[in-house]
């Protein structure tokens, strides 16, 4: 297949090159991969507490403990692998090979979860899923930034956020529904079908830097490329690119340069807070509603629906970020965040103040 060979040695362009390398198709591919990754992550959130008890013989009172451990395993691997995968994506001939590696890790994790009958297998599966999450996050954003101009990047990332939101919204809902109606294995049959669609798109997509070997890049991309080239030359006026004998300065690793930027540190802190909140919900809400309200996995999945619905507005906020600056939008968001968190702490019973009897799901 074409992506397993060196594009420089190919004599004929790939089939449907213009469509497969178009910005719309690249965004759709990254959108699909992000949706798949987060759908499969969220799909098993309402199922996991019951599955650990029924399949791995975990004591009923230890469910929350082991669910937290599984979430930590995935997050820890993603944290370690993101910088490593970022380096591999930069040095790879194309970004597609690492992109496909992420899908292989994801498929392997789903296979292990579908067959798991011990806690050890559950842990290994979540470790592999953490690696897949890291690869999707890094490779997807790399493909996106390669294909979209900086003036529209916020809008494009907003669509990427909508994929994450939709995955979080449909994952628990469909996972809990299928588990209740058909059982444990059909949940992963649904997962493998989604992985198959994702694989088709990841194999089909062609990066713009590969496609430009056969078709000219657009005027906008030419302007951006020339501007970046001019900026790179003017930012180092003392360098002489034509002098091969000039001593080359050893550059610091990109990670060290990035962490010196306050904007990177602030953005990373914001993402960390966001991740901690979601991880806390994933570890506690399904068990809380099951223990206090006697809800099924379907009811636990429905609890994630309201927050995911509002997150579908991310493309709008992305466009707003392109027009304004990210600072006021992010500041307002974090100022409003404590309100729903405080309100959630008031939920103690499965009733409303005006209800005379408890309801169940």
DSSP string, 70-112: HHHHHHHHHHHHHHHHHHHHHHSSSSHHHHHHHHHHHHHHHHH
The whole-number pLDDT of residue 251 equals 59
Torsion sign over Cα 335, 340, 343, 345:
negative
In the three-class reduction of DSSP (H, G, I as helix; E, B as strand; rest coil), residue 175 is classed as helix
Q: What band does 16 get if pLDDT is binned at 50, 70 and 90?
A: confident
Smallest CA-to-CA distance from 149 within 202, 230, 223, 201 is with 223
| Mean pLDDT value of segment 221-249 | 43
State pTM to two decimals. 0.68
Least confident range of 5-14, 55-64, 89-98, 331-340: 5-14
Render pLDDT for 273-324 as a digit per residue (tens, 0 to 9). Answer: 877 887 778 778 888 888 888 887 777 777 777 776 776 777 777 777 777 7
Render pLDDT for 201-215 as a digit per residue (tens, 0 to 9). Answer: 888 888 887 788 777
Question: How far, in Å, are 226, 317, 323, 334, 339 from residue 328 at the CA level?
Answer: 32, 11, 12, 10, 18
In the three-class reduction of DSSP (H, G, I as helix; E, B as strand; rest coil), residue 3 is classed as helix
Question: How far, in Å, are 102, 256, 293 from residue 232 at the CA level?
Answer: 32, 19, 60
Render pLDDT for 159-215 as a digit per residue (tens, 0 to 9). Answer: 777 788 788 778 888 888 898 888 899 999 999 999 999 999 888 888 887 788 777
Residue partners of 16: CB distance under 8 A and separation at least 6: none
Render pLDDT for 49-85 as a digit per residue (tens, 0 to 9). Answer: 888 999 999 998 888 889 888 888 888 898 888 888 8
Distance of CA 283 to the CA centre of its chain: 19
How is residue 16 written in tokens? Answer: 């449907």
Report CA dihedral (319, 255, 38, 53) to the nearest 10 degrees.
-150
Distance CA 281, CA 274 (A): 11
Q: Domain 14-216+297-344: which CATH class?
A: mainly alpha
The whole-number pLDDT of residue 253 equals 63
The domain spans of the chain are 14-216+297-344
């Amino acid at each position: 297949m074409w992506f397993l060979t060196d594009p420089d040695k190919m004599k004929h362009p790939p089939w449907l090159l213009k469509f497969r390398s178009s910005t719309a198709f690249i965004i759709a591919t990254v959108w699909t991969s992000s949706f798949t990754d987060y759908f499969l992550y969220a799909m098993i959130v309402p199922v996991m507490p019951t599955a650990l008890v029924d399949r791995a013989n975990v004591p009923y009172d230890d469910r929350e403990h082991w669910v937290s451990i599984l979430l930590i395993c995935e997050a820890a691997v993603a944290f370690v692998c993101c910088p490593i995968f970022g380096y591999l994506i930069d040095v790879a001939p194309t970004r597609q090979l690492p992109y496909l590696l992420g899908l292989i890790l994801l498929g392997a994790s789903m296979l292990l979860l579908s067959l798991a009958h011990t806690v050890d297998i559950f842990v290994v599966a979540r470790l592999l899923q953490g690696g897949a999450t890291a690869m999707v996050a890094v490779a997807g954003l790399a493909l996106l930034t390669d294909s979209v101009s900086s003036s529209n990047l916020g809008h494009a990332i907003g669509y990427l956020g909508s994929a994450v939101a939709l995955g979080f919204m449909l994952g628990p809902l469909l996972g809990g529904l299928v588990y209740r109606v058909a059982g444990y294995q059909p949940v992963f049959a649904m997962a493998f079908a989604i992985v198959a669609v994702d694989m088709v798109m990841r194999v089909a997509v062609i990066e713009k830097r590969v496609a430009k070997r056969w078709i000219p890049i657009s005027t906008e991309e030419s302007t951006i490329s020339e501007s970046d080239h001019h900026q790179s030359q003017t930012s180092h006026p003392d360098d002489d690119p034509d002098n091969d004998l000039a001593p080359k300065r050893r550059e610091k690793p990109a990670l060290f340069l990035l962490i010196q930027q306050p904007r990177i540190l602030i953005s990373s802190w914001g993402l960390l807070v966001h991740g901690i909140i979601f991880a806390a919900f994933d570890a506690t809400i399904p068990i809380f509603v099951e223990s206090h309200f006697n809800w099924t996995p379907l009811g636990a999945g429905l609890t994630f629906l309201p927050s995911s619905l509002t997150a579908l507005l991310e493309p709008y906020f992305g466009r707003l970020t392109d027009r304004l600056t990210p600072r006021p939008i992010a500041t307002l968001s974090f100022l409003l965040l404590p309100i729903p968190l405080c309100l959630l702490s008031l939920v103690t019973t499965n009733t409303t103040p005006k209800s005379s009897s408890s309801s169940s799901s």
